[in-house]
Amino acid sequence: MLQISATELGEWLQDAGRPAPVLLDVREPEEFSAYRIEGSQLMPMRTLPARLHELDRHADIVMICRSGARSHHAGLFLRQHGFERVYNLAGGVIAWSRDVESAAA
């Protein structure tokens, strides 16, 4: 599984010539409602096994959590189940807030 920095993800999302990835947030609903990356989809880590059928195995999927640890494990799970292009957001939403949103303000 590849790691992607918040800055790299921000640049990817701004690149009109490149299809946007699926932003898959594996945190709990309370965490997601408190703060999220715009356009991300909530799929708590514990629900992944039952919801794999909702995801495209050939899509670029960026896994998101608070710091990058849970999303890393969830991404490994996807890779083990045949998902080909899985990225982990290194540093999670903490890095996104610090490196992307703060820089844009």
What local confidence, expressed as pLDDT, does residue 105 receive? 65
Taking the chain (105 residues) in runs of 10, the rounded mean pLDDT of each run is: 97 96 98 97 98 97 98 98 97 97 77
* Domains annotated on the chain, with CATH: 2-104 (3.40.250.10)
| Residues designated catalytic | 65
| Residues 74, 95, 22, 76, Cα dihedral to 10° | -20
86 phi, psi to nearest 5 deg: -115, 130
Rounded (to 5) percent helix, strand, coil in the chain: 50, 20, 35
